[in-house]
Amino acid sequence: MAGSHSDPLAHPEVRMGGAMRYIAGFISTVALMGAALIVTLRHDMGYETYVEVVGGLAALALLSQAVLFYGLDISRAQIWKSVSLILTVPLFIITVGLTVWMFQSLDQRTMVMPNSAAAATQPTLLQ
């Protein structure tokens, strides 16, 4: 088995990443979450816009983690990780997205939602 006799510390998987990248990853994620927190606390957007904005911030945070933490790219050492991730991301979206769509429609057709104050002020993704 190759690699067995070479220096493990020379492996590209060890060589990748770097202090600056990781610190940048930390700062960018915390900053994006901080921005989302501020938006949340100010409560001055419509529900839909709000979900879009924090969703966008989350997507950016995940992207920065993919690049800065996991070090994904299309180099020979990383290509299979990147490909497999790209193939799997649609499954995340399908699983949650279609499920929400399905139950949203089902609830509308089969359930009488309680008309309480909480229900009125608490829109969720299912409503």
Partner 1 sequence: MQVHVPGPWSPLFGRLTLDQIPYNIPILQYTFAGAMLAAIVVVGAVLYFKKVGYFWREWLTTVDHKKIGVMYIVIGLVMLFRGFADGLLIRTQQVLANGPNAPGYMGAQHGFLPPFHFDQVYSAHGTIMILFAATPILTGFQNIVVPLQLGARDMAFPYMNALSLWLTAGAAGLVMLSLFVGDFSAAGWVGLIPLTELPYSPSTGVDYWMWAIQISSVGTTLNAINMIVTIVEMRAPGMTWFRMPIFSWTTLSTNIIGLTAFPVLGVALALLGADRYLGTHFFTAGMGGNLMLYTNLFWLWGHPEVYFLILPVFGILSEVVPTFCEKPLFGYVTMVAASFAIAGVSWVVWLHHFFTMGAGPDINGFFSVATMLVGIPTGVKVFNWAFTMYRARITYTVPMLWAMFGLFLLLAGGLTGMMLAIPAVNYTVHDSVFVIAHFHCMVLLVVAAAFAGVSYWFPKVFGFRLDESWGKAFFWTFSIATLIVFTAMFALGFEGETRRLDWTFNTAWKPMLVVEEIGMILYVISLACFALMLVFSIVNRKKNAAGPDAWGTSRTLEWLTPSPVPFYNFAVTPQVNTRDELAWRRKHGLDKAQPEHFEAIHMPSNTGMPFVIGMLAAVWGFAMIWRIWWLAAISLTALIVCVIIRSFYKNEGYHLQPEEIAAMERDLALGSVVSEQPDRSHHHYSHVEAH
Partner 2 sequence: MAHQAAPDANTRLFAPGFAGHSQISARTLGFWLYMLSDALLFTALFAAYAVLDTPMNAAGGPIASQIVNPVEGFWQTIAILGSVTAYSLATVALKTGNRAGVMLGIVAAMVLAVVFLGFGFNDLATLTAQGNGMDRSGYLSAYFVLILTHAIHMLFGLIWMLVMLVQIPRDGFNEMVVARLLNLRMFWQFQATVWVCVYIYVYMIGA
Burial status of residue 1 (CB atoms within 10 A of its CB: 0-12, 13-18, 19 or more): exposed
Check: CB of residue 16 under 8 Å from CB of residue 77.
Answer: yes
* Residue 109 interacting partner from partner 2, partner 1, none (CB closer than 5 to 8 Å by kind): partner 1
Compute the half-sphere exposure of residue 45: CA atoms within 13 Å on the CB side of its CA.
14
DSSP 7: -
Among 74, 92, 109, 110, indicate the residue that binds partner 2 (CB under 8 A): 92
Q: List the interface residues with partner 1, window 76-105 (CB under 8 A).
A: 80, 87-88, 90-91, 94-95, 98-99, 101-103, 105
Q: Is 51 in the site for partner 1 (CB under 8 A)?
A: no
Are 88 and 80 within 8 A, CB to CB?
Answer: no
Spacing of C-alpha 92 from chain mean position = 10
| Contact status: 103 vs partner 2 (CB under 8 A) | yes
Query: Rule CB under 8 A: is residue 41 a binding residue for partner 2?
Result: yes
- Is residue 74 close enough to count as binding partner 2 by CB under 8 A? no
Distance CA 13, CA 21 (A): 15
**Of 1 and 38, CB closest to partner 1:** 1
Task: Check binding of 55 to partner 2 (CB under 8 A).
Answer: yes
Q: Does residue 45 touch partner 2 according to CB under 8 A?
A: no
**Binding of partner 1 at residue 116 (CB under 8 A)?**
no
